[in-house]
Amino acid sequence: MTRQIHLAAHFPGVNNTTVWTDPAAGSQIDFSSFEYFARTAERGVFDYLFLAEGLRLREHRGRIHELDVLGRPNTLAILAALAAVTEHIGLVGTLSTTFNEPFELARQLGTLDLLSGGRAGWNAVTSSDAFHGANFRRGGYLDHADRYTRASEFAELSKRLWASWQPDAIVADADTGVFLDERGVARVRHDTRLFDVDALFDVPASPQGRPVIVQAGDSADGRDFATAHADVIFSLHTEFDDAQEFYRDVKGRLAAHGRTEESLKILPAATFVLGDTLAEAQERSREIALAQVRPETAITYLEQVWNRDFSGYDPDGPLPDVEPDTGPESAQGFANRHAAVRSRITKLRETAAAENLSIRELIIRLTANHTFVGTPDFIASEIDRYVQERATDGFTVVGHVTPHGLDEFTDRVIPLLQERGTYRESYDQDATLHDLLGLPSVQAAAPLPVGG
């Protein structure tokens, strides 16, 4: 059976994927940029628009990391505004399970889902480091081992809150004077080491029952979280064989949770460079990569790995032949930290030696190696191949300029996918995000039992 392709549109702006120096680049914070990008994605009948989020301005050696594109307004505020200027496309935002509370975040996401007609999604991420935690009262208190324990419990509690309203709970019968059937709203009690909640949720169910849950972790814990709770995985596995292996591993875990293959979509991040010929696309790819990884960007990357000052090194020269600074030997965890850094540096040196790469060329190879480079027909064919041969269910498309990074893909690749019959030509009226993704409905879910 021919499989349908699912596509998400990633709004760039929080890392060096974005070429902010490009003459065509615009603001990554003006609402007009978000609106333009969302309308383009909706014109391309994408499943959803995806926003990443950083909880703190990045720093390097005690200074704001100026090589990144800095700053972004609050994710939920952006998505709420976009709900008013779009009609069909899903709206997915990245929000932390570490530095939020279940009731509050479930309420915010439930509100967005209700007001958008069932188009909201949540990219649930974790963070255990003190750097981000310094912006919050709790600081970096959370042990690394606890981050997915908290995330799993956070997601489960959120789902119980969303499921606590039955679709017909609001009666609004003027003749009897009954507005709410209290039997349709279940009390949620949850008392554990991490959360103590006794709540009557105050946001009615949306047309899709609850927001779609996206997950981006790749560790064993991350994969377990995804197969237990997520509807979509935003992965980094884009090489065909690697993607197939990841697909088999994750989908193979679903049966243990009573789930089917189609109940979880895998949409890796994919960059692209188009050209009228392969040679033209390859030349454009190199030009874009050089703009994404400027000389100072390459040196900064190495400094973050080695934890040393490499400002005197030539980015077009070889890797430094020095040992990393992994902190004092007396510090807790020194052995594991030292081994992990040394292993990473060994891999970097092996790659550089095997391909005779300079510092900058190596960092381009690692961070700006574009997923699909070629003609529109070639890229459409490759996307289709990945999906039909079960390497992915589709892709999260990432452009390199804001807000026009999706234009060329929408105009030149989408029509070719539609001609193949593997990608929708229009939205179904009143389709929810669950519907667009082909996920099982949660609209008629029975109320979950009260408990902790």
Under 8 Å between Cβ of 216 and 361? no
% of the chain with per-residue pLDDT over 90: 75
CB 96: neighbour CB atoms within 10 A? 19
Reported as a single tens digit per residue, the pLDDT across 185-219 is: 999 999 999 999 999 999 999 999 999 999 987 88
Higher pLDDT pick, 327 / 384: 384
**pLDDT > 80? residue 370:** yes
Residues with Cβ within 8 Å of 273's Cβ and at least 6 positions away in sequence, in order, are 281, 282, 284, 285, 288, 370, 372, 373
**pLDDT > 90? residue 319:** yes
Rg (CA), the chain: 23
**pLDDT > 60? residue 180:** yes
Q: Tell me the pTM.
A: 0.92
What is residue 389's predicted lDDT score, i.e. its pLDDT?
98
Reported as a single tens digit per residue, the pLDDT across 422-448 is: 999 999 999 999 999 999 988 533 444
Q: How far apart are the first and last CA of the chain?
A: 43
What confidence tier does 152 reach under pLDDT thresholds 50, 70, 90? very high
Nearest to 124 by CA among 41, 3, 28, 212: 212
CA–CA gap between residue 218 and residue 129 (Å, rounded): 17
Residues with Cβ within 8 Å of 88's Cβ and at least 6 positions away in sequence, in order, are 42, 45, 119, 427, 431, 436
Give the mean pLDDT of 284-306. 93
Mean pLDDT, all residues of the chain: 91
What confidence tier does 13 reach under pLDDT thresholds 50, 70, 90? low
What is residue 6's predicted lDDT score, i.e. its pLDDT?
98
Q: Which residue has the tokens 């197969």?
A: 227
Phi, psi angles (nearest 5°) of residue 394: 155, -155
Q: Where are the alpha helices (DSSP H) in 327-406?
A: 334-355, 359-367, 376-388
Reported as a single tens digit per residue, the pLDDT across 220-261 is: 888 999 999 999 999 999 999 999 999 999 999 999 999 999
**pLDDT > 50? residue 63:** yes
